[in-house]
Chain A
Amino acid sequence: MTKNITQDNLIRYIYQETSQEESSLIEEALATDYELKELYESLLESKSELDKVRISPPQDVVDKIMEYSSKTAPHEHAL
Chain B
Amino acid sequence: MQVQHVPDNKLVKLYLSGQEEALGELVNRHKDRIYTYIFMFVRDTYLAEDLLQETFIKVIDKLRTGKYKEQNKFLPWISRVAYNLCVDYYRREKRLPKVMTRDGFDIFSVLKFSDASAEDRMIEDQTVMRVRNLINQLPDEQKEVLILRHYSDMSFKEISEVTGVSINTALGRMRYALINLRKLMAEKNITI
A46 touches B179 (CB 8 A): yes
Number of A-B contacts (CB under 8 A): 109
> Which B residues from 140 to 163 make CB contacts under 8 A with A?
146, 149-151, 155-156
Interface size on A, residues (CB 8 A): 36
Chain A interface mostly: helix
Taking a contact as CB atoms under 8 Å apart, the answer to whether A65 and B168 are in contact is no
Query: Which of B49, B53, B57, B178 has the most chain A CB atoms inside 10 A of its CB?
Result: B178
The complex places the Cα of A12 from the Cα of B109 at a distance, in Å, of 28
Q: A17-B156, A65-B53, A74-B64 are in contact. Are A55 and B131 (CB under 8 A)?
A: no
Contact A55 B39 (CB under 8 A): yes
Q: Is B27 an interface residue (CB 8 A)?
A: yes
Given contacts A15-B149, A50-B150, whether A56 and B31 have CB atoms under 8 Å apart is yes
- Provide 12 A-B residue pairs closer than 8 Å at the C-beta atoms, listed in order of the A residue: A11-B156, A11-B178, A12-B171, A17-B156, A50-B131, A50-B146, A55-B36, A55-B39, A56-B35, A61-B31, A61-B53, A65-B60
Not counting A49-B131, A53-B151, a sample of 7 additional A-B residue pairs whose C-beta atoms are within 8 angstroms of each other reads A11-B174, A46-B177, A50-B146, A55-B35, A56-B35, A70-B20, A72-B60
Q: Could you tell me which B residues sit within 8 Å of A by CB distance?
A: 18, 20, 23-24, 27-28, 31-33, 35-36, 39-40, 48-49, 52-53, 56-57, 60, 64, 123, 125, 127-128, 131-132, 134-135, 146, 149-151, 155-156, 168, 171-172, 174-175, 177-179, 181-182, 185, 190, 192
